[in-house]
Amino acid sequence: MLPAAHHTTRWIADLGLPPLPREELERCSELSQQIRQQITAAGGQISFCHYMEQALYAPTLGYYTGGKQKLGNSGDFITAPELSPLFGRCLARPCAEALTASGGDTILEFGAGSGRLAVDLLRELEQLGQPPKNYWILDISPDLRQLQRQTIARELPAWQSRIRWLDHLPAKLNGVILANEVVDAMPVHRFRIHQGSSQEAFIGWESRPDGGAFTLHWQPSALTPEIEALGLELADGYSSERNLLADAWIHELATHLQRGLILLIDYGYTRSEYYHPERSSGTLLCHFRHHAHPDPLLLPGLQDITAHVDFTALANSAHAAGLEVAGYTTQGNFLLNCGLDQLLHPLLQGSSDTLLEPIQQVKRLTLPTQMGERFKVLALSRGLAHPPSGFQRHDQRHRL
Ligand SMILES: C[S@@+](CC[C@H](N)C(=O)[O-])C[C@H]1O[C@@H](n2cnc3c(N)ncnc32)[C@H](O)[C@@H]1O
Q: What is the pLDDT of residues 340-378, one digit of tens each?
A: 999 999 888 877 777 889 999 999 999 999 999 999 999
Best mutation site among 178, 182, 304 for ligand 1 pocket (most ligand atoms within 8 Å of CB): 182
Distance CA 124, CA 318 (A): 29
Are residues 155 and 201 in contact, defined by beta-carbon separation less than 8 angstroms? no
Based on the fold, state whether residues 253 and 108 are members of the same structural domain.
yes
Instruction: Please answer whether residues 141 and 71 qualify as being in contact, where contact means their C-beta atoms are separated by less than 8 angstroms.
Output: no
Residue nearest to atom 26 of ligand 1 (CA): 111
Q: Do 37 and 101 belong together in one domain? A: no
| Pocket residue to mutate for ligand 1, from 54, 63, 64, most atoms within 8 A of Cβ | 64
Same domain, 100 and 171: yes
Over residues 258-285, the pLDDT tens digits come to 999 999 999 999 999 999 999 999 999 9
Q: How far is CA 146 from the centre of its chain?
A: 19
Q: Which residues line ligand 1 (CB under 6 A)?
A: 64, 71, 79, 81-82, 110-113, 117, 138-141, 144, 180-182, 185
Strands 324-330 and 239-242: unpaired
Query: Distance (Å, rounded) from C-alpha 298 to C-alpha 286?
Result: 9
- Asked which of 125-129, 149-153, 223-227, 318-322 is least confident by mean pLDDT, the reply is 223-227
* Mutation test residue for ligand 1: of 54, 73, 139, the one with most atoms within 8 Å of CB: 139
d(CA 306, CA 183): 9
Residues 176 and 112 placed together within one structural domain of the fold: yes
Which atom belonging to ligand 1 lies closest to the Cα atom of 306? 1
CB 242 within 8 A of CB 226: yes
Paired sense of beta strands 106-110 and 134-138, if any: parallel
Q: Does residue 296 belong to any structural domain of this protein?
A: no
Q: Categorise residue 195: left if φ over 0, alpha if ψ from -120 to 50, beta otherwise.
A: left
Q: Give distance in angstroms: CA of 329 to centre of ligand 1.
A: 22
pLDDT score of 94 more than 90: yes
Domain of residue 229, residue span = 5-73+189-240
Please tell me the predicted confidence (pLDDT) of residue 52.
Answer: 98
DSSP codes, 323-389: -EEEEEEEHHHHHHHTTHHHHHHHHTTS-HHHHHHHHHHHHHHH-TTTHHHHEEEEEEEES-SSPPT
Question: How confident is the prediction for the chain on average, in pLDDT?
Answer: 94
- Residue 278 counted as domain residue: no
Query: 43-85 pLDDT, tens per residue?
Result: 999 999 999 999 999 999 999 999 888 998 889 999 999 999 9
With respect to residue 258, please indicate whether it lies within any of the assigned structural domains: yes
Same domain, yes or no: 355 and 217: no
Find the 182 Cα to ligand 1 centroid distance in Å: 5
CA neighbours closer than 13 Å in the CB half-sphere of residue 345? 6
CB 302 within 8 A of CB 68: yes
Structural domain count of the chain? 2
Q: Examine residue 352 and state whether it is found in any structural domain, yes or no.
A: yes
- The answer to whether residues 349 and 382 belong to one domain is yes
User: How far apart are the CA of 184 and the centre of ligand 1, in A?
Assistant: 9
* Domain identity same for 117 and 251: yes
Predicted TM-score (pTM) of the model is: 0.96
- Evaluate whether residue 299 is within a structural domain: no
Same domain (yes/no): 359, 254: yes
Closest CA to 320 of 273, 258, 253, 378: 253
Phi/psi at 345 (nearest 5 deg)? -50, -55
Q: Work out the pLDDT band at 305, boundaries 50, 70, 90.
A: very high
Domain harbouring 322, CATH code: 3.40.50.12710
Is residue 290, in this structure, part of any structural domain at all? no
